Structure 1
Amino acid sequence: MTLNIVDLSSNNGPVNLATLKHAGCDGVIIKATESNYYVNPYFAGQVKQAARLGMLIGAYHYSDGGSVSANINHYWNTVKPYAKYIDLHILDYEGRNIVRGSVGHASAALAMLKKLTGKTPMIYMGLSDENSYNWSSVTAYPLWVAQYNDMNNHYGFHPRSLYGSLRHWKNMAMFQYSATSYIGGIGQVDVSVYYGSKLSFSNKGSVEMAEHWKAPVEFDDLGAFKVMQKEATFWNDANNDKKVGTTNAGKIYRITKEKNGFYKIANHDMWLDGRTGDFHANPAAYSDKIHAKIVVVKPTSGHKDLTTKVVGKTFKVGSTWKMFGYKTFKSASGTTWHWAQVGAGDNKYINLDKCRVLV
């Protein structure tokens, strides 16, 4: 299992995390502090919003390689009021700061972080730093490593293999593969892949989220929502003002809108609080070029071109296919069609309106 992660600092300005989540972001790692003086002004608000959205939350300290106690106490004093929301504590240690503090600084800082937080912290660095120093004294701590192939603009989450290799860690817990990505229109941001499943969110006053479920949605739905609490309330709007019904754990709903952390049920004026379940975003709702898996729900056949002329095979109801993006076509009669690209030749396109996207 892997998760899509965005990390944020004040350089990104105010960011609506709901937009990131709808675009497929599973978690955020937020800069909290730097050295012994700086605090990210957006930290507290972003942590609270991420908790409401049920996202994995990390916080990091950018260490200057100086006094370990000054650095780590400054971090802990800042994040302690929000510690119940934070899944990952991370030491960002890189470049000239390593020259100043050496590996010994990292070893002492990580040990102090573990003692204060009660959780095993992670260390972040670039691949060149991982290769250049002897990290044997800290390899018991999980590694988050950065390595970029280019500084071109990238759109969406597209994890790839590490270019190069680790010298001291056997594997990495997380890989930051781009610093120039746009997610749901927000960018440029740093994006990473986290090699693990979502942690338990029960300590946030919410619910433990399941990762192993799929649901079919219309290609333009925002996604699907699975109720994880024993019972959840339907509200008349994106607030807790008027109760209009209830539902039970395990129920899955198509979602067409999001507002203030609430999700609107398709074809109904009912909303669910995002904290009561698990939301899976539909990538096709944000880009017609995205790759996704689709399932055929009504009989359809192959098309060679963006026309209504059938030239290919019949695609059976219930069969699943990888979609390489879709295109919109308007017929002479004015009818709008959506064609999913699933192959080549006579079976290049099928009618997306007769399929559902699996999220």
Structure 2
Amino acid sequence: MTLNGIDISSFQSGIDLSSVPADFVFIKATGGTGYVNPDCDRAFQQALKAGKKLGVYHFAHEQGYQGTAEQEAEFFLKNIQGYIGKAILMLDWESDNSGDIAWAKRWLDYVQAKTGIKPLIYMSTSVLATYDFSCIRNADYGLWLASYPNMNPTGYRKPSPPNGGEWGTNVAMYQYTSNGRLDNWNGSLDLDIFYGDKAAWDAYAKAKTSKAPKKQRMPSDHNKAVAESKAVHQGNAWGKLEFFNFVSKNKLRVAGWLVPDKPEGPIGKYAEVLIMKHGTTKEITRIASQGIKRPDVKKNYGYKGGDALGMDVTVDLSWVKKGTKIDVIFRRCNQLNGEGMVNDVRISNIYLTL
């Protein structure tokens, strides 16, 4: 079974969703770190009242409002609190950072970690064919694919999706025209097909429940090793691991701090935790952390360098191959993307096995 529907933004402000034929409506909610669709809530409430299935989406790197994946995900969640559990969530991946797949993965992971809901990712066939999205597919995020083989004005159709790359034919949704024509709207509409029934739609929209997590494989003295570990000095900074363990199935919490040797300099405005394949230079993923002021570190350890910055993140590693050994790098840096001038301390003597 399939469902027919439309996706709208502020360009369709005022559309009467109680009279335009659609099984579902996807609505643009936010963009970047500062744009909110002024017609989103009106449209959402009208469609909800009319019994439509609903979705809301975030446009990545909205022009003039570009931010980190975590900043944009948090902005999206802040503005859709009342919709969570009632609508499918989606990342619209077609802006100036479409080649930064790690950014998209971090946005998706952040939203899932905060809501328990796996968002969809939307992209064109050209973007899909240009970059490697295997890390997103392997993490079981669904794909909404866009391709317009026929731009003649059309009503709903039931096309099969084009090649879904890493997803193959397992595409959740397909947008097949931006020039659709439907009753009770005098203008073009994006027309979409969802490859599932209403129950399948609801499954995408709601948080997944899980059984009690299995005990993770790790060194038997792991917790003791973390608690008794000493600060590590590398390059031009000190760092210490304070928490490195699983808090639920596949969700890892990493916490600690970093202190640069010198108080001056431009480094230290941003914080990142890098998950590394143990004993190698291979980075598995990185997560931006809010920089946490830690005056207790200087007081307790007597460092005379820069201010201590605490880091505390939780990351879903369900997509990483079981049996992989991992350790962490604490990073302070002067660029939002975690690059530029950095202070790095790798805690390589303590590791986990996934």
Q: TM-score range by the shorter chain?
A: 0.5 to 0.7
Q: Is contact 1:54-1:201 (8 Å) kept? A: no
C-alpha separation in 2, matches of 1:201 and 1:141 = 14
Q: Residue 111 of structure 1 corresponds to which residue in structure 2?
A: 109
Distance 1:201 1:179 in 2: 22
Amino acid at match of 1:182: R
1:109-141 CA-partner distances (Å, limit 9, x unpaired): 101111222211100000111111100100110
Q: Is the CA contact 1:145–1:175 (under 8 Å) kept in the aligned structure 2? A: yes
Structure 2 segments unaligned to the other structure (5+ residues):
204-354
State the partner residue of 1:47.
Answer: 44
Cα displacement (A) at 1:194:
0.1
Residue 10 of structure 1 corresponds to which residue in structure 2?
10
Provide the C-alpha distance between the structure 1 equivalents of 2:199 and 2:25, rounded to a whole number of angstroms: 13
Alignment pair present for 1:141 and 2:138: no
Matched with 2:319 is none
Counterpart check, 1:33 vs 2:30: yes
Partner of 2:198: 198
Which secondary structure does the structure 2 equivalent of 1:148 belong to?
Answer: coil
- Please state if 1:76 is matched with 2:77: yes
Query: What runs of 5+ residues in structure 1 fail to find an aligned partner?
Result: 204-359
Matched residue SS, 1:32: strand
Give the superposition deviation at 1:13: 1.8
Alignment of 1:1-359 (within 5 A): 1-20=1-20, 23=21, 25-64=22-61, 66-86=67-87, 88-99=88-99, 102-139=100-137, 140-154=140-154, 156-162=155-161, 164-170=162-168, 171-186=170-185, 187-199=187-199
Q: Distance in 2 between matches of 1:90 and 1:84?
A: 13
Shift of the 201–167 alpha-carbon distance from structure 1 to 2, 3 Å rule, reads closer
* Partner Cα distance (1:158, 1:202) in 2: 22
| Equivalent residue, structure 2, for 1:217 | none
Residue 158 and residue 98 in structure 1: after superposition, are their counterparts in 2 closer, same or farther (change >3 A)?
A: same
Contact 1:153–1:182 (8 Å) recurs in 2: yes
State whether residues 92 and 122 of structure 2, in contact with CA within 8 Å, keep that contact through their aligned partners in structure 1: yes
Q: Tell me, yes or no, if the aligned pair for 1:6 and 1:28 is still in contact at 8 Å.
A: yes
Shift of 1:158: 1.2
Question: Residues 141 and 202 from structure 1, CA distance in 2 versus in 1: closer, same or farther, beyond 3 angstroms?
Answer: closer
Whole-angstrom CA distance in 1 between matches of 2:85 and 2:96: 33
Give 3-state SS (helix, strand or coil) of 1:159's partner: coil
TM-score by length of 1: 0.52
Aligned-partner Cα distance in 1 for 2:202–2:190: 28
Distance 1:108 1:168, change over 3 A: same
| CA displacement 1:212-261 (0-9 Å, x = unmatched) | xxxxxxxxxxxxxxxxxxxxxxxxxxxxxxxxxxxxxxxxxxxxxxxxxx
> Using the alignment, how far apart are the partners of 1:182 and 1:160 within structure 2?
16
Q: 1:200 to 1:51 in 2, by over 3 A?
A: farther
Could you tell me how far 1:184 is from its partner in structure 2? Answer: 1.1
Report the TM-score, using the length of structure 2 for normalisation. 0.52
- Three-state SS of the structure 1 residue aligned to 2:198 is coil
Preserved contact between residue 30 and residue 36 of structure 2 (Cα < 8 Å): yes
Q: 1:161 to 1:82 in 2, by over 3 A?
A: closer
> Alpha-carbon deviation of 1:202?
9.5
Aligned mates of 1:74, 1:120 — CA distance in 2: 17
For each residue in 1:156-204, what CA deviation from the matched residue of structure 2 results, as whole angstroms up to 9, or x when unmatched? 2112234x5222112210000010111114131101000011138999x
Q: Distance in 1 between matches of 2:112 and 2:72?
A: 14
Deviations 1:4-41, CA, capped at 9 Å, x for gaps: 01000001121100112xx3x10000000000000001
Q: SS of 1:19's equivalent?
A: coil
Q: State, as a whole percentage, how many aligned pairs show the same letter.
A: 31
CA distance in structure 2 between the partners assigned to 1:200 and 1:28 by the alignment: 15
Aligned mates of 1:40, 1:150 — CA distance in 2 = 29
- Provide the secondary structure at the position in 2 that maps to 1:46: helix
Return the alpha-carbon distance in structure 2 between the equivalents of residues 83 and 66 of structure 1.
22
CA deviation after TM superposition for structure 1 residue 51, in Å: 1.3
CA distance in 2, matches of 1:199, 1:85: 13
Deviation at 1:81, TM superposition (A): 2.4
